[in-house]
Amino acid sequence: MSDVTNEPMAEPMGGGPAESIGAGTASYVYLAARDIPDDAVAGITGLESQPVRLVRNAGLTAVVSTVDLAEFGEDGLRRNLEDLAWLEHVARSHNGVVHHFGRQTAVAPWRLATIMLDDERVAGLLADWEHQLKASLDRVAGCSEWSVKMITELSADQRTETDQPTSGTAYLQRRRAEYSRQNSAQEQAAAAADRVHATLSGLTAASRRLPPQDRRLTGHRGEMMLNGAYLVPDDRSEEFSALVGELGADLPESRLELGGPWPPYSFATLETGA
Amino acid sequence: MSITAIDRTGQPVATDHFDNRAMPDRSDSPAGRRQVALVDLLDRLLGAGVVLSGDITISIAGVDLVEVRLRALITSVRAEMRATDPGADRPLAGGARR
């Protein structure tokens, strides 16, 4: 039933199936698509410069490559996910493969570090999830993901050097005024972010708000009021970026940042538990 | 994959691949942009995508991904702060000072 191409599982476990998942090799899954021709993987490498290969079943194709379970097994992952250099390397390799095939056909990217014990299991999963995967691929076909962030400077503190409080009461009054100014600035910024998101969503096939990013991670100044992901039909991408520019021009206190196009990472998620 | 500050005409800088080109954002250093792009990527690669569940896979589904991601990144930012000259005006250090 499963039509597995190229079975290169190099080193079978000593004399039996992998009882332990800490040794041997496994299949790392990058993405699923409807069809990818055999010759499209020629010369394409993934993690650890291993060649990628195709696993076909149920009218679907997965792109996989071989990884070492010492690194990608349960224990290895738990350890390595704490290592930013490792995480970055894997993320960029994963993204490279997804991006490459995403330029050729509709793809459903898989979450980082999805490992199956072998290609047979990948094939089995394609069959199990045939309907959800196909629905997901239909949803993202002809679209790319774009990111729009809104970052607002909530600088309520605009006093000058000469504006020092002369008494405790004056100080408290000033603090209270600052606090309420800040609150209302925050509310206005939140409302503006809602409007930006609603307006952009009107032009897109789908949209999601991701949690705002921590400035300790990004180093951005100000408050991230919106971290939006938008699934934009490719023939509307210019219209979309123009709209982002217009919206940004109307928001003097805020900065809109456009990123993309990305493969449809935020929109290929399957219904869980199905 | 890249992060683009919108220019005056509302056009993003043309994007190419996933190598996080430097973008014309005056307020960020290349290191800062690179970090931002990585956070964007991890937002998506860890927080979305086709997600497995159940016992068929040894995915990292059992781990709190967001927590792991933040812990790893914050650790790295702190390490970078320590490695940075305190006087240097670096976005990573500036962001982390708060």
Whether A31 shows a pLDDT value over 90: the answer reads yes
Q: Which residues in chain A touch residue B35, judged by CB atoms under 8 angstroms apart?
A: 217-219
**Euclidean distance between CA atoms A19 and A14, whole angstroms:** 10
Q: Residue B5: beta bridge partners?
A: A257
**For chain A, what is the mean pLDDT?**
84
Q: Given an 8 Å threshold on Cβ–Cβ distance, is B45 in contact with A94?
A: yes
Residues in chain B: 98
Which pLDDT does position A273 carry in this prediction? 43
Give this complex's ipTM: 0.75
Confidence band, pLDDT 50/70/90 cuts, at residue B85: very low
Is B5 an 8 Å CB contact of chain A? yes
Least confident of A3-12, A80-89, A194-203: A3-12
What amino acid occupies position A93?
A: S
Is A260 an 8 Å CB contact of chain B? yes
Q: Within chain B, what is the greatest distance between any pair of CA atoms?
A: 52
Whether B15 shows a pLDDT value over 80: the answer reads no
Q: What's the gap in Å between the CA of A11 and the closest CA on chain B?
A: 19
Which pLDDT does position A158 carry in this prediction? 47
Higher pLDDT, residue A12 or A257:
A257
Neighbours of A235 (CB within 10 A): 9
Indicate the helix (H) or strand (E) that contains B9: none
Whether A239 shows a pLDDT value over 90: the answer reads yes
Please answer whether residues A74 and A21 qualify as being in contact, where contact means their C-beta atoms are separated by less than 8 angstroms: yes
* Three-state secondary structure call for residue B73: helix
**Euclidean distance between CA atoms A66 and A28, whole angstroms:** 6
Q: What's the gap in Å between the CA of B85 and the closest CA on chain A?
A: 16
Please answer whether residues A254 and A150 qualify as being in contact, where contact means their C-beta atoms are separated by less than 8 angstroms: yes
Q: What tokens appear for B89 in the block?
A: 């005006």
Please answer whether residues A243 and A256 qualify as being in contact, where contact means their C-beta atoms are separated by less than 8 angstroms: no
Is the preceding omega at residue A261 within 30 degrees of 0, hence cis? yes
Neighbours of A233 (CB within 10 A): 15
Which pLDDT does position A134 carry in this prediction? 95
Is A156 an 8 Å CB contact of chain B? no
Which pLDDT does position B74 carry in this prediction? 52
Whether B59 shows a pLDDT value over 80: the answer reads no
Among residues of chain A, what percentage have pLDDT more than 90?
55
Q: Which residues in chain A touch residue B7, judged by CB atoms under 8 angstroms apart?
A: 245
Confidence band, pLDDT 50/70/90 cuts, at residue A24: confident
Is B3 buried (19+), middle (13-18) or exposed (0-12) by CB count in 10 A?
buried
Sign of the dihedral defined by the CA atoms of residues A162, A167, A171, A177, in that order: negative
Please answer whether residues B10 and A242 qualify as being in contact, where contact means their C-beta atoms are separated by less than 8 angstroms: yes
Higher pLDDT, residue A3 or A244:
A244
Residues 180-209 of A with CB under 8 A from B: none
**Euclidean distance between CA atoms A178 and A156, whole angstroms:** 6
* Three-state secondary structure call for residue A236: helix
Q: Given an 8 Å threshold on Cβ–Cβ distance, is A220 in contact with B50?
A: no
Please answer whether residues A32 and A133 qualify as being in contact, where contact means their C-beta atoms are separated by less than 8 angstroms: yes
Q: Which domains are seen in chain A, by residue range?
A: 8-141 (no CATH), 144-265 (3.30.70)
Exposure of A81 in the CB half-sphere (CA atoms within 13 A): 26
**Distance from first CA to last CA of chain B, Å, rounded?**
29
Confidence band, pLDDT 50/70/90 cuts, at residue A229: very high
Least confident of A46-50, B59-63, B91-95: B91-95
What amino acid occupies position B61?
A: A
Please answer whether residues B72 and A83 qualify as being in contact, where contact means their C-beta atoms are separated by less than 8 angstroms: yes
What amino acid occupies position B52?
A: L
**Average pLDDT estimate for B9-17:** 34
**Euclidean distance between CA atoms B72 and B33, whole angstroms:** 18
Neighbours of A94 (CB within 10 A): 26
**Distance from first CA to last CA of chain A, Å, rounded?**
22
Least confident of A41-55, A175-189, A191-205, A234-248: A175-189
Q: Given an 8 Å threshold on Cβ–Cβ distance, is B77 in contact with A108?
A: no
Q: Which residues are within 8 A (CB) of A257 and not within 5 positions of it... i.e. 6 or more apart?
A: A147, A148, A149, A150, A151, B3, B4, B5, B6, B25
Whether A18 shows a pLDDT value over 50: the answer reads no
Please answer whether residues A245 and B11 qualify as being in contact, where contact means their C-beta atoms are separated by less than 8 angstroms: yes
Indicate the helix (H) or strand (E) that contains A207: strand A206-209
Which pLDDT does position A254 carry in this prediction? 94
Neighbours of B98 (CB within 10 A): 7
Name the residue among B18, B47, B71 with its Cβ closest to that of A210.
B47
> In A202-236, where does DSSP find H-type helix?
215-218
Q: Which residues in chain B touch residue A94, judged by CB atoms under 8 angstroms apart?
A: 45
Residues 215-244 of A with CB under 8 A from B: 215-221, 227, 229, 241-244
Indicate the helix (H) or strand (E) that contains B10: none
Higher pLDDT, residue A194 or A18:
A194
**Euclidean distance between CA atoms B94 and A37, whole angstroms:** 49
Name the residue among A81, A213, A255 with its Cβ closest to that of B60.
A81
Q: Give which of B40, B70, B90 to mutate to test A binding, by max A Cβ within 10 Å.
A: B40
